[in-house]
Amino acid sequence: MVSKLLVGWSLMAVCVAIHASGMTAALRWFRRLPRSSWAWTWHFTKVAGWTVLLHLLEIAVWGVFYLAVGAMPDLQSGLYFSAVTYTTTGYGDLVLPQHWRLVGGIESLTGILMCGWSTGFFFAVLSRMFNAQVDADGP
């Protein structure tokens, strides 16, 4: 059981590293804030797309792991299971072997944390852009 917790923690750490580097890269896009509403829309779209890409990469890490340890029969199943677990959709049509189920739970918790981080980041970007617009418009 402890070994499975360490495996889950390690995979979670990989996801945190992916997310941290991805969010850091996204921050660089906002050194100069846009002035027009169309530019804002474009920036929000870039952030949303980038964030989804990060989540898909994190899902792939878990999916490839499940395939590598024989917990899923093929890559498609591993990625699918990982996606429904990470997003906490949990259809239940695919399940992990009993000795890997704890790792699946850790993936769900990781997905909740990473999605919360993404939501917080998106809100922070919106707040920063809104405050910049208010400052530019003046009192």
The torsion defined by the Cα of 119, 123, 129 and 132, in degrees rounded to 10, comes to: -150
CA distance 39 to 137: 17
Output the CATH code of domain 2-30+38-130: 1.10.287.70
CA-based R_g, the chain, Å: 18
Q: What does the pLDDT look like over 5-48, one tens digit per residue?
A: 999 999 999 999 999 999 999 888 777 666 677 878 888 888 89
- Judged against a pLDDT cut of 70, whether residue 107 lies above it is answered with yes
Q: Where are the domains of the chain?
A: 2-30+38-130
What lies within 8 Å, CB to CB, of 38 at 6+ separation is none
Rounded to the nearest angstrom, the gap between the alpha carbon of residue 32 and the centroid of all alpha carbons in its chain is 25
Which of 12 and 129 is assigned the larger pLDDT? Answer: 12
- pLDDT confidence of 53, banded at 50, 70, 90? very high
